Each structure stands twice: as C-alpha cells, then as structure tokens.
Amino acid sequence: MTRQEACLALNLIPQIGPVRARKLIAAFGGPEQVLKASARDLTRVEGIGEAHAQAVAGWETQVDLPGELAKVQARGLTLLTETDELFPPSLRGLRDAPLLLYVWGQLLPRDHHAIGIVGSRHATVYGLSATKRLGYQIAFAGRTVISGLARGIDTAAHEAALAAKGRTIAVIGSGIGKLYPPENQALAGRIAQSGAVVSEYPVDRIADKQTFPYRNRIVAGWSAGLLVVEAPARSGALITAQQAVDNGRTVYAVPGPIDKPTSQGCNRLIQQGAKLVIEAEDILADLDTLFPPAHIPQDARADNAPPAAPPVSLDEEIVLKAVKDGAAHIDEIITASGLTPATVNVCLMRLEMKRLLRALPGRCYEAAGSS
C-alpha cells in the first residue's frame, strides 16, 4: 500500500476526521503504520477512544478502498496528499488540514497564492456587480481566484475569473460526484478546464450542513488574502473570515449601504479592522502585486534585450510627463496635465497596471523607475 492509498483509506473512515488522523500519523510515523496498528496501541494516542480505535483497526471491513480508487480513475481525478508538490503549502500547517484532496482539473504552483472571494448565497445586484468587477480584475492581474461554488457571490467570483481568462479554483462541500448546487455542474466543468474543482470528501459524498462550514476552512487557509463582498450579520462568509484571521490571513471587505441587511457583515468587518476595498488594486497592491504588462514571447525579442515598453495613450503620456522626476501629488498632476480629475484617475490606474507609475502614501505617485 502506498502512502497515498493509506491516506485515502484513513479519509474514508467516517469516525476519523483530519485532526484525529493527523494525531495518529504523528504518533505512528505514517498512515501505513496507522492502518497496521492494533486497537490497543491506537487507544494510547490522545483523543482516540475505543470506538475510534476499533474503526481504524477494522478499516478493511468498512472501507471500500479499491472501489474509491476506481471512481477516482473513472472520473480522471488526481489525489494529492501534503507530501505532493502541488498540495497547497498554506494548508500544511493547519491543525485541521485536509488529509488529502481530490482534484478535478489541474493545480499549478501559482495557485498557492490564490485570493479567496466569499459572500452571501442570497446576493443583491450590488453584491454581484461588485464581485464580477473585482473578481475579473484579480484574475486579469494573474492571481488565482478561489471560492466555494455556492450560489450567489461564489458563482459570480468564478464566472468573473473565467471571463478574464484567468484561473479559478472551486473548493466544494461535497464529493466531486455529487456536486452542489446541481445547477453549477456546467460551471464546474468550465472551471476544471482552466483551473480545478477540489474536495476533501469521497467522490459520492452528499453535502450536508456540516460539510459546508468545514469546507470554508480550506478556502480561508488556502487564500493569501480573503475578500468578503457581501454578507449579512450572521453568515458563513463571516465564519470564513474569522478562520482567515485565525490563520494569519488578511481580510478585505467591500462596504455597502448601512440600511441594507446584506451589507451589515462587511461593514462590521471593516469596523473590526478588515481592509476596505473599492478596487482590486486595494488588494493587489497590499499583496505586492500589480497588473502584469502585456506578455511578450521570449522568442519575439533579441537575446538579453529588455521587454518592450507597454503602449500608452496620449492622455497617459501627458500624465507621465506631469509626474516628472520625484513624487507628485494627484492635485499637482491634475493641474500640470490640464486634464479632468476623472481622466487623471483613470490614467493613473492604467499606468500603475502597466508598471510605469507607482502609488505612494498620501495619493502621491512617482515613476516606477525612481529610487
């Protein structure tokens, strides 16, 4: 039996969750050794009672390991344990990290730095619009968007990332063979083509009230930062936000009207220290990420030649000249350029995306090459 198969067997035992499984692996040195241990030896591990020990010792009588492996193979899924390179490093240190992940699609190293987007299943037009705008910008910037494939904000986040031709990951609260909600089956297929649908549950596990909150800890732990777009005062999104805080992640929130119940959760998060988000740049700059310049194939430029500068419009060129040497406040740029404030604001964002300008505190800007 391989380590992966042993992890899969442990994961299939209903009485043994990831916390107990990890305690056993630490005590016996590996999942293979756990499955070989006697019930008596198993009970010596803290937190392992007689019922747990009997379940593990008799795993072959209640777990259909060959059957589960056949389902994985039939669906073209990949199994990842924490020793695999593509298993998210940010999950490895969690006390309740999943023992293994079922992956439909493909994970890439860049997915290790995904940005989570969560929110209400009963989203408003405002919430959906904000999600689509921010999700698109984040994915276009090259960051993977991770969410939970639920109705509402989650669905909008995945669709926005796909529209931007970016990567997105759906972490689901069911087995991949029992996707929920069922109307998102087609969306899940599209996600798997350019990203991945991920679950810690057996292929045919049906979702229930416990699996969704448990799923959220993966979204919170995996994400480099978590954005809450819209959430009432009591919602799963706020639980996910708390899990992100507990894991040392930065939480971001989109403000909403103070008289709307769907905005109470986000507004309260901002009161409590979450970073207010109006544009994706509020997150990307915080994570030291800017929109990438236009891709230029390596074979299209001379050896060792620097990449060509991205093209700029006439207005952008005027704004660049207005910045000149050193730092300039936005009011100075508006005066020097002779352009309207709205035009200058748009140009400044575009020039930041093209890495030609850098934003400084106090609404000041300087040329990206300045020291």
Q: Residues 223, 167: one domain?
A: yes
141 near 290, Cβ under 8 Å?
yes
At a CB cut-off of 8 Å and minimum separation 6, what does 90 contact? Answer: 112, 221, 222, 223, 224, 247
Backbone dihedral angles phi then psi of residue 248, each to the nearest 5 degrees? 80, 20
Average pLDDT per consecutive 10 residues, the chain (371 residues; last block may be shorter): 94 92 94 95 93 94 95 97 93 90 96 95 92 93 95 95 94 96 95 96 93 91 95 90 91 93 94 93 77 38 48 88 84 91 78 76 76 52
DSSP summary character for residue 14: T
Predicted structure pTM score: 0.76
Q: Residues 41, 148: one domain?
A: no
Is 293 contained in some domain?
A: no
Is 329 contained in some domain?
A: yes
For 28, the domain range is 3-63
Q: Residues 112, 217: one domain?
A: yes
Please say which residue of 238, 269, 284 terminates a domain. Answer: 284
Of the candidates 110, 101, 108, the residue with the CA atom closest to the CA atom of residue 77? 101
Q: Residues 56, 129: one domain?
A: no
pLDDT on residue 236:
87
Is the bond leading into 31 cis (omega within 30 degrees of zero)?
no
Sheet strand arrangement including 364-367: 328-329, 364-367, 357-360
Q: Residues 115, 235: one domain?
A: yes
Per the structure, the count of domains in the chain is 3
The Cα angle at residue 357 between residues 223 and 313, in degrees rounded to 5: 110
Q: Residues 268, 322: one domain?
A: no
Q: How far apart are CA 313 and CA 243, in angstroms?
A: 44
Of the candidates 137, 125, 128, 127, the residue with the CA atom closest to the CA atom of residue 282? 137
DSSP summary character for residue 112: G
Is 98 contained in some domain?
A: no
Q: How far apart are CA 208 and CA 311, in angstroms?
A: 52
**What residue ranges in 175-317 does DSSP mark as E strands?**
196-199, 225-228, 250-253, 275-276
Q: Residues 118, 223: one domain?
A: yes
Is 356 contained in some domain?
A: yes
Assigned token pair, 209: 């009230």
Asked whether the CA dihedral 309, 311, 314, 318 is positive or negative, the reply is negative
pLDDT on residue 291:
42
pLDDT on residue 296:
32
Q: Residues 40, 173: one domain?
A: no
Please say which residue of 220, 252, 284 terminates a domain. Answer: 284
pLDDT on residue 304:
43
Q: Residues 199, 268: one domain?
A: yes
Q: Residues 331, 240: one domain?
A: no
Please say which residue of 269, 284, 299 terminates a domain. Answer: 284
Distances (CA, A) of 75 to 72, 167, 181: 5, 21, 19
pLDDT on residue 347:
82
Is 291 contained in some domain?
A: no
Q: Residues 127, 168: one domain?
A: yes
Is 80 contained in some domain?
A: no
Indicate which CATH number applies to the domain containing 55: 1.10.150.20
Indicate which CATH number applies to the domain containing 340: 1.10.10.10
One-letter amino acid identity for 204? D
pLDDT on residue 244:
92
pLDDT on residue 309:
61
Q: How far apart are CA 74 and CA 99, in angstroms?
A: 22
Is 81 contained in some domain?
A: no
pLDDT on residue 188:
97
Q: Residues 121, 238: one domain?
A: yes
Indicate which CATH number applies to the domain containing 133: 3.40.50.450
Is 75 contained in some domain?
A: no
**162: enclosing H helix or E strand:** helix 153-163
